[in-house]
Structure 1
Amino acid sequence: MLIETARDRGEWFCAEVAVGELCEAGEFERALTVLEPFVAVGWPFAVRESASILVRLGRIEEGLALVRPDAAGLESAFDCRWFAGALVEAGRVDEAIGVLTPHLGEPWILESLVDLTRGENCDARVLELLAPCAERALGGAADCRCSAAGGRRECRHQPSEVLVKYSRVLERMGRADEAIRRLGPVLPAVPGVAWRYAELLADQGRFEQLRELATGEHAGLALNQYAKALEEQGELREAEAVLHEALATDAEYTRRRLMAFLARQGRLDEVVDVGRPTYEDAEGNLLHEAIDLLIRAGSPERALELVDGLGAAYAEAHADVLGYTRLRLLAKAGRYAEGIAEARALSEREPGQWDTTLAWLLDLDGRPDEALDLLRSSTEREAHRAIAQILTRHGHYAEAVAVIPTVSAQREAWDRR
């Protein structure tokens, strides 16, 4: 059905999933057939996927030809990135590096270089390309404006970014000690790299150095890594103490980590209490973080108590979001009838705005026909998607596909809006 839908309706997402399934089953030629109409109109994702499949089939030159940039394309970092990826798949890593080199002034291309070459036995070459920017950063330069690796454009790397990449290549070469030795002295000039330095120390089991880092001037970036290392070592009390201490220097990030830590220990009341100072804030609000942790811990009832305990002013200002959240929690708790009653009340106040949610609850309550009747008469914009979802859940796949407007119909509707 996926293949038929992709072919008959021009649905790219159906084609994408179908191609993935076919490739997993080893049916590469059929996958290419599914992609053909999309390649014909130049859809870039289809072109790239076709190139990848052709390379895997051993039709390397044919695949590379699909994504090989012309003279103008060689000026495009995006075009070169996709061509380099295909070259790596074809085992031509040196050529891929050559294609990327003129664009290494772009931070995301440097990231691509590091990612694409992982495990390809060319780390010495990658390290050499990183060296010009890394040496400037290690020397304390505030920024880097070199012509990176002979590239066409001025380098735009920040010292901390390039040093993180440099240290990762060193680490995968088995030279983590060297990465630690090189990063340590530069921390005063490039404090933003302290988190990576802490990560290296933890990975190498250097806990005393990590403790010193986490209790010094770089505590804000290193304490959380130290706490993670302690937890992994089973030192739970010490890890918790470190996280509580870190709240003073990095409250928002550490509070989130402490809540997750407590949830892993099953201490759900404390999860709620730690997040409580933020629940009615405009910024850094961790209400939904707490709700998700409670749901994952199998305690939707506790999450409902949290929502119902919010202040009246906040609840009124965020009525729509909290209304939906409450309905979701009632469903998680299996209280479908109560959720349906609340959704009906909301729908009476705001006709047409709660139809898909009400239908979802009706279906969960074992009343799919009522849910479908409601949606078929609904004016809610996404009602057709909800209909398709319900039909799919009950095994009516062909009907579900028929409900969804074609790509051209969706485009026309968008233009009208």
Structure 2
Amino acid sequence: MSMDDLAWQASNFGGLPPRRVDLLLEHGHLDLVIQAAAERSEWFCAKGAVEELCRTGKFAQALKVMEPFVATGWPAAVWAKADILLRAGRPQEALDLVRSDEAGRTSKAECHDFAELLVRAGHVDEAIELLAPHIDGWWTLSVLVKITAGQERDEQVLELIAPHAGSARQARGESRWNHPFSNAQELQAQVLERAGHVDEAIRILGQDIAGGHYLTQNTLTAYARLLAHHGRFDELRELATGQDAHTVLDIYAGALRDHGRAEEAEAVMRNAIAADDWVGYRAWLSSVLLGDGRLDDAIAVAEPGFGWYDCSNLLAPLVYPLLDRPEELLHLVEHPSVVPHYDHEEFQHWWRAFALAGLGHVDEAIAVAEAHPDPWTDLRIVKAGLLSTAGHLDAAAAELRALGTIKAREELFEVLISQEQAAEAIAVHPTVAEQRATEPKPKPEPDPLLEPVSLSEDGYSLEPPF
């Protein structure tokens, strides 16, 4: 185990990634997860095991699992240990483990993390004192607001926010679009709201919006959500039907639904589509209709956007919620308006293949994949996936075992878990070392001093740098 391997795992979801660790824990295999953490130096196994152990109050065992990782000196493991100590009721040990003097605290993220730990340990004033001198932009200000929620320090936090909110109000008129506290006004409103000053929060932020004294769209949406949260429908309707409708009409419609006025919300959005056929309106309404179980209505709303390009294409947002509902998915992808579009043609084929497999039509599904191989790097893995989706687990496992590649072994893990063969699943899963060994090696940069240079007739270089 080394810091380099652990950092690689964390940044690349290497080894057994979180989803597969969760799968093991869901099937009751905590002991195997602990064993994999110890024997294979699996970082996500260690994290998953620690979380499960802490949840059940087994803090000593959690510390034992984490200790080999801490011994490497990797900061993430040290902070994980501090979290265990804090949850175990040993706050001073947790703070002492990660505390550093001001000269040694070079990372802003570390400063934020330590402030949060201080609050969790009950040292709220010390946390505020730590952050206050370092409020030089939106990030630290956001952290301050977050960690002080429910800590009875709202008036103190408001005093710290006030000058930055005032400066942000003036910035737009001065064309200072890169103002470092562009979120200060919405944070001010958030703290006022949680302190019980709702009317004041709405009044102040409303004046900012009406006067155009704000910098980002987030401030506008924060105001709309504030109105929605407190049922201020008249103000919200006026905002949502004005020049900012594209930004906040969905918030208004969502608020209507949240208050039992779903038919009114649908009418609002259909009227907006009739007046201004903007893709955002269709996207919102089709998604809501699908969530209500009205697939055909959702298709009818989204259909004009099935041929639009890239992120404006409205087909994918309907497909993904249906991936575990194969009958409805097949109904969607076989709709006459669902046609290949530019370089998105391959999506339709894998959607249809997995829908067919989910309905048990595995031979037809495999035929679709074989007829349209472009989106897949290895059709044998695709075939195994379709077999597994159709419930033919033994056949899928046989295909993957025969293939034996790193990717095949990763997929085999999932099949074996479904077959209640967790120990074998972990054993066949590639190790971190195996995964790293398959990474493409970066090509060495050529030394410009050793490379031949083409020259023009007058002696000047024809290649950069000129």
Q: Same fold (TM over 0.5)?
A: yes
Whether 2:330 is the aligned partner of 1:301: answer yes
Task: Tell me, in whole angstroms, the C-alpha distance in 2 between the residues paired with 1:351 and 1:204.
Answer: 49
User: Structure 2 residue aligned with 1:57, among 57, 68, 88?
Assistant: 88
Whether 2:191 is the aligned partner of 1:169: answer yes
Q: 1:143 to 1:56 in 2, by over 3 A?
A: farther
Residue-by-residue CA offset, 1:12-38 (whole Å, 9 max, x unaligned): 011111111101110011101111111
1:250-329 correspondence to structure 2 within 5 Å: 251-283=278-310, 284-294=312-322, 299-306=328-335, 309-312=337-340, 314=341, 317-329=343-355
Residues 333 and 348 in structure 2, CA contact (< 8 A), matched pair in contact too: no
Q: Secondary structure at the match of 1:42?
A: coil
Residues 167 and 179 in structure 1, CA contact (< 8 A), matched pair in contact too: yes
Task: Tell me, in whole angstroms, the C-alpha distance in 1 between the residues paired with 2:282 and 2:386.
Answer: 34
Task: Specify the code of the residue in structure 2 equivalent to 1:106.
Answer: G
Shift of 1:112: 1.6
User: Structure 1 residue aligned with 2:212, among 189, 202, 208?
Assistant: 189
Q: Which has the higher mean CA deviation after the structures are superposed, 389-398 or 223-232?
A: 223-232
Residue-by-residue CA offset, 1:27-65 (whole Å, 9 max, x unaligned): 011101111111111333322121011122232222112
1:119-134 correspondence to structure 2 within 5 Å: 119-134=150-165
Q: Which has the higher mean CA deviation after the structures are superposed, 254-263 or 67-76?
A: 67-76
Give 1:407's aligned residue. 432
Task: Tell me, in whole angstroms, the C-alpha distance in 1 between the residues paired with 2:238 and 2:223.
Answer: 12
Residues 260 and 271 in structure 1, CA contact (< 8 A), matched pair in contact too: yes
Shift of 1:115: 1.4
Task: Tell me, in whole angstroms, the C-alpha distance in 2 between the residues paired with 1:80 and 1:351.
Answer: 44
Residues 287 and 317 in structure 2, CA contact (< 8 A), matched pair in contact too: no
User: Structure 2 residue aligned with 1:340, among 340, 350, 366?
Assistant: 366
Q: Secondary structure at the match of 1:411?
A: helix
Q: Which has the higher mean CA deviation after the structures are superposed, 88-97 or 401-410?
A: 401-410
User: Structure 2 residue aligned with 1:391, among 388, 395, 416?
Assistant: 416
TM-score between the two structures when normalised by the length of structure 1: 0.87
Give 2:264's aligned residue. 238
Give 1:156's aligned residue. 180
Deviation above 6 Å: which 4+ runs of structure 1? 349-352
Q: 1:155 to 1:190 in 2, by over 3 A?
A: closer
Gaps of 5+ in 1: 146-153
User: Structure 2 residue aligned with 1:206, among 232, 235, 238?
Assistant: 232
Q: 1:352 to 1:376 in 2, by over 3 A?
A: farther
Shift of 1:345: 4.8
Give 1:116's aligned residue. 147
User: Structure 2 residue aligned with 1:2, among 9, 33, 41?
Assistant: 33
Task: Tell me, in whole angstroms, the C-alpha distance in 1 between the residues paired with 2:236 and 2:35.
Answer: 57
1:375-386 correspondence to structure 2 within 5 Å: 375-378=400-403, 381-386=406-411
Q: 1:203 to 1:305 in 2, by over 3 A?
A: same
Residues 171 and 179 in structure 2, CA contact (< 8 A), matched pair in contact too: no
Residue-by-residue CA offset, 1:363-384 (whole Å, 9 max, x unaligned): 3434333222221232765111
Give 1:370's aligned residue. 395
Shift of 1:127: 1.2
Task: Specify the code of the residue in structure 1 equivalent to 2:415.
Answer: I
Give 1:222's aligned residue. 248
Shift of 1:237: 3.2
Residues 322 and 328 in structure 2, CA contact (< 8 A), matched pair in contact too: yes
Residues 93 and 117 in structure 1, CA contact (< 8 A), matched pair in contact too: yes
Residue-by-residue CA offset, 1:130-170 (whole Å, 9 max, x unaligned): 1111122345655798xxxxxxxx97121xx2211111111
Shift of 1:124: 1.3
Task: Tell me, in whole angstroms, the C-alpha distance in 2 between the residues paired with 1:331 and 1:120.
Answer: 53
Give 2:13's aligned residue. none
Task: Specify the code of the residue in structure 1 equivalent to 2:145.
Answer: V
Task: Tell me, in whole angstroms, the C-alpha distance in 2 between the residues paired with 1:239 and 1:198.
Answer: 16
Shift of 1:293: 4.4
Gaps of 5+ in 2: 1-31, 443-466
Task: Tell me, in whole angstroms, the C-alpha distance in 2 between the residues paired with 1:399 and 1:85.
Answer: 41
Bigger fraction of residues in helix: 1
Residues 406 and 435 in structure 2, CA contact (< 8 A), matched pair in contact too: no
Task: Tell me, in whole angstroms, the C-alpha distance in 2 between the residues paired with 1:116 and 1:332.
Answer: 45
Task: Tell me, in whole angstroms, the C-alpha distance in 1 between the residues paired with 2:437 and 2:197.
Answer: 57
Task: Tell me, in whole angstroms, the C-alpha distance in 2 between the residues paired with 1:381 and 1:321.
Answer: 25
Q: 1:127 to 1:30 in 2, by over 3 A?
A: same
Task: Tell me, in whole angstroms, the C-alpha distance in 2 between the residues paired with 1:243 and 1:323.
Answer: 32
Give 2:27's aligned residue. none
Q: Secondary structure at the match of 2:438?
A: helix
Q: Secondary structure at the match of 1:200?
A: helix
Q: Which has the higher contact order (CA 8 A, sep 6+)?
A: 2
Q: 1:143 to 1:302 in 2, by over 3 A?
A: farther
Task: Tell me, in whole angstroms, the C-alpha distance in 1 between the residues paired with 2:394 and 2:322.
Answer: 32
* Number of equivalenced pairs: 403
Q: Secondary structure at the match of 1:118?
A: coil
Q: Secondary structure at the match of 2:425?
A: helix
Task: Tell me, in whole angstroms, the C-alpha distance in 1 between the residues paired with 2:174 and 2:105.
Answer: 27
1:29-40 correspondence to structure 2 within 5 Å: 29-40=60-71
Task: Specify the code of the residue in structure 2 equivalent to 1:87.
Answer: L
